[in-house]
């Protein structure tokens, strides 16, 4: 008899298992922790890993706050169950931001990607006005600002990927708002001397969402997989959030830029074929690989933190097993295929 797929609680338990580097970091840092935008795909993993790392480090009295509007109330219940103190707040409302507790350590995850095409004004507010309110309120904190590899231009598939010295591009409206988020935070860092780090993340993956789930689901259902984007980078969510915690120690003024993803350039075609082998069916591939893509060179974060604990092969196997077992998915496709910057 095969085991039933893990439920949300078991998955969050797995993703939030504190890695040694995260425990060492919270041992070094004083003060409480605040995760802004905790209600989304990564927030629970990050906030709960912080809680468990603090407990493992013997800092049981330090508080981890999780802030969101909680449009998914179940996220709030799950966070509280793991010992995170939740605070409901719309970060676009200055009056509500003013009431948040002042803490030493802030992880900023709030943002908006999907729906940019239909409601661009809202995305600009979420990705630039909210940063302005947050950067002013938390001027005395150290802040890890979640950003994205989408701030870079497409780079040649054959090359090493964009590194932190690569100038930003404005590839579509969403990516432009992400450059805006970094610019607004940096402006207030200069004004107030705040220590910040721009956490330029490329594709977090776990069992319920991510590029692997997108590709694997299509292969399993016999639907076409578009290979035009060619290649991508990813990192297992547990490794991504551990790095976000470690990055609190690397915040700087002027803000430090850091690419965070895995060491591998992964071909969409190859991933589809690997899922095909595991599912015992041939993937349906459409399109032809372009010669450029959004690819990041994460050498610097790999030097600082070492390789991720979950390899490309292991991540594919885990996702394949979850899909085959009919495990729950978030139903939030990444739209990794989009090459026009429209989301």
Ligand X SMILES: NC(=O)c1ccc[n+]([C@@H]2O[C@H](COP(=O)([O-])OP(=O)(O)OC[C@H]3O[C@@H](n4cnc5c(N)ncnc54)[C@H](OP(=O)(O)O)[C@@H]3O)[C@@H](O)[C@H]2O)c1
Burial of 291 (0-12, 13-18, 19+ CB in 10 A): exposed
Q: Is 177 in the site for ligand X (CB under 6 A)?
A: no
DSSP class of 127: I
At CA 75, angle to CA 21 and CA 81, rounded to 5? Answer: 70
Q: Is 35 in the site for ligand X (CB under 6 A)?
A: no
The residue among 189 and 285 lying less far from ligand X, judged by its C-beta, is 189
Binders in 192-211 for ligand X, by CB under 6 A: 201, 203-204
Task: Report in angstroms the alpha-carbon separations of 155 from 149, 229, 232, 281, 284.
Answer: 11, 11, 11, 32, 26
What is the nearest approach in angstroms of ligand X to the Cβ of residue 91?
3
Q: Is 40 in the site for ligand X (CB under 6 A)?
A: yes
3-state secondary structure 12-61: HHHHCCCCHHHHHHHHHCCCCEEEECCCCCCHHHHHHHHHHHHHHCCCCC
Q: Is 39 in the site for ligand X (CB under 6 A)?
A: yes
Q: How many residues bind ligand X (CB under 6 A)?
A: 25
Question: Which residue in the set 146, 154, 174, 275 belongs to the binding site for ligand X (CB under 6 A)?
Answer: 146
What is the nearest approach in angstroms of ligand X to the Cβ of residue 260?
9
Q: Is 69 in the site for ligand X (CB under 6 A)?
A: yes
What is the nearest approach in angstroms of ligand X to the Cβ of residue 240?
8
Residue 197 is inside which H or E element, if any?
strand 195-201
Question: Which residue in the set 33, 65, 70, 336 belongs to the binding site for ligand X (CB under 6 A)?
Answer: 70
Question: Which residue in the set 16, 105, 116, 126 belongs to the binding site for ligand X (CB under 6 A)?
Answer: 126
What is the nearest approach in angstroms of ligand X to the Cβ of residue 214?
11
Report the distance separating Cα 197 and Cα 218, nearest Å.
36
Q: Is 148 in the site for ligand X (CB under 6 A)?
A: yes
Report the distance separating Cα 325 and Cα 307, nearest Å.
29
* Among the residue ranges 33-41, 77-85, 182-190, 317-325, the one whose residues contact ligand X (CB under 6 A): 33-41
* Among the residue ranges 64-72, 166-174, 286-294, 303-311, the one whose residues contact ligand X (CB under 6 A): 64-72
Nearest to 201 by CA among 310, 293, 301: 301
Three-state DSSP class for residue 73: helix
Q: Which residues bind ligand X (CB under 6 A)?
A: 37, 39-43, 68-72, 89-92, 109-111, 126, 130, 146, 148, 201, 203-204
């Amino acid at each position: 008899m095969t085991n039933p797929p893990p439920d949300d609680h078991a998955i969050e338990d797995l993703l939030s298992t504190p890695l040694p580097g995260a425990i060492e970091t919270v041992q070094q840092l004083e003060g409480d922790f605040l995760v802004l935008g905790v209600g989304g795909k990564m927030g629970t993993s990050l906030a709960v890993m912080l809680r468990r790392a603090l407990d493992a480090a013997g800092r049981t009295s330090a508080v981890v706050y999780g802030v969101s509007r909680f449009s998914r109330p179940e996220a709030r219940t799950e966070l509280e169950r793991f010992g995170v103190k939740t605070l409901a707040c719309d970060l676009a409302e200055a009056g509500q931001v003013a009431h948040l507790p002042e803490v030493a350590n802030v992880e900023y995850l709030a943002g908006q990607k999907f729906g940019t095409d239909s409601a661009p004004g809202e995305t600009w507010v979420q990705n630039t006005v909210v940063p302005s309110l947050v950067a002013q309120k938390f001027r005395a904190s150290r802040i890890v600002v979640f950003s994205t590899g989408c701030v870079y231009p497409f780079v040649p598939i054959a090359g090493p990927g964009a590194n932190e010295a690569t100038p930003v591009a404005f590839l579509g409206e969403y990516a432009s708002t992400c450059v805006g988020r970094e610019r607004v935070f940096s402006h207030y860092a200069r004004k107030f001397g705040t220590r910040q780090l721009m956490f330029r993340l490329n594709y977090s993956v776990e069992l319920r969402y991510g590029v692997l789930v997108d590709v694997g689901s299509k292969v399993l259902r016999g639907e076409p997989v578009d290979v035009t984007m060619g290649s991508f980078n990813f990192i297992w969510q547990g490794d991504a959030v551990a790095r976000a915690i470690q990055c609190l120690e690397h915040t700087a003024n002027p803000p430090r830029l850091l690419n965070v993803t895995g060491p591998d350039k992964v071909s969409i075609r190859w991933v589809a074929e690997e899922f095909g082998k595991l599912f015992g069916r041939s993937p349906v591939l459409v399109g032809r690989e372009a010669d450029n893509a959004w690819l990041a060179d994460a050498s610097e974060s790999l030097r600082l933190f070492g390789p991720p604990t979950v390899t490309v092969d292991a991540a594919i196997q885990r996702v394949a097993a979850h899909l085959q077992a009919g495990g729950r998915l978030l139903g939030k496709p990444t739209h990794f295929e989009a090459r026009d910057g429209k989301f």
